[in-house]
Structure 1
Amino acid sequence: MQNVLFEIIEDYKTNHKNLEVTVLKQEVVLKGETITFQLNGELQQDIFHKIKADVLGTLRRKLNNYSIHLESEIKEEESGKKKLYTSTDKLQYLKEKSPALAEFQRRFQLETDF
């Protein structure tokens, strides 16, 4: 299954369908004859539903298994994990991870406004 999925991804890359490639590269869970894609959000789920029929048809044909099904689910984010959007947030995270960075910043009087 992974080989066929890789071929599908390469085909989408060739046709410059980068959003579809991103969706197909998400984590996949196989239970019985159901293939579930673990997606990151609503946008990926919308893209998945647009390509689902094409991907399912290709998988069924190349695997010679017409009873497989494709599903998607949005995986939950870790509740305690904060996303780092701004440069200040990223710097603060790195300073918490490596106190030497804070000392470096203090010693050389480096500004944090960037």
Structure 2
Amino acid sequence: MTQELLDQHLPQVLEHFKKQGKSLELAILNQPIKVKENEMILEVMGHVQEERAHSMRQELMTLIRNLTGAGKFQLSLEVKEEIETAKNKLYTSSDKFNYLLEKHPALNEFRKKFGLETDF
């Protein structure tokens, strides 16, 4: 199992879980996945994703083996805790708008064009 092989077949894996309507599994699989020496490492955020990753483990490994033809490989989890900072706490509409403005500068043009206000 190599990173290139996984990356090549990952869209098919995502489609499999999407067809089944498994959104939490998709959220886990959309996070960084590393492959090191026949070990696939999934990054999970918090306890809920960790439990779900354990429950989907066998299905995921079987699917990857079938798609890639990979023989033996390990699947391990790397639990990441979300660090809460003052920047994550968006209380007012202005805070929320400014946060979104950092991610999508085009929002400012919409605000000007349509005369939108962030404070009510």
Return the TM-score normalized by structure 2.
0.66
CA separation in 1, counterparts of 2:20 and 2:84? 37
- Greater CA radius of gyration, 1 or 2? 1
Change (3 A) 1:8 1:111: closer
Partner of 2:41: 36
Consecutive aligned runs of 4 or more in structure 1 exceeding 3 Å deviation: 76-82, 92-95
CA RMSD of aligned residues (A): 2.9
Deviation at 1:79, TM superposition (A): 6.7
Q: Give the distance between the partners of 1:73 and 1:40, measured in 2 at CA.
A: 9
Cα distance in 1 between the residues matched to 2:94 and 2:73 = 43
> Which AA in structure 1 matches 2:22?
K
Over residues 56-113 of structure 1, what are the superposed CA-to-partner deviations in whole Å (9 max), with x where a residue is unaligned? Answer: 0111222222211111111244575642253x28618939x99xxxxxxxxxxx895x
Equivalent residue number for residue 13 of structure 1: 18
Aligned partner (choices 77, 86, 93) of residue 72 of structure 1: 77
Match of 2:41, SS? strand
d(CA) in 1 for partners of 2:84 and 2:118?
Answer: 32
TM-score, normalised relative to structure 1? 0.69
**Which ranges of structure 1 fall in alignment gaps of 5 or more residues?**
99-109
Q: Alignment identity in percent?
A: 21
**What residue identity is the alignment partner of 1:20?**
E
1:91 to 92, 95, 102: 95
Go from structure 1 to structure 2 and tell me whether the alpha carbon gap of 1:14 and 1:46 turns closer, same or farther (over 3 Å shift): same
Give the corresponding residue for 2:110: none
Question: Which residue of structure 1 lines up, in the alignment, with residue 64 of structure 2?
Answer: 59
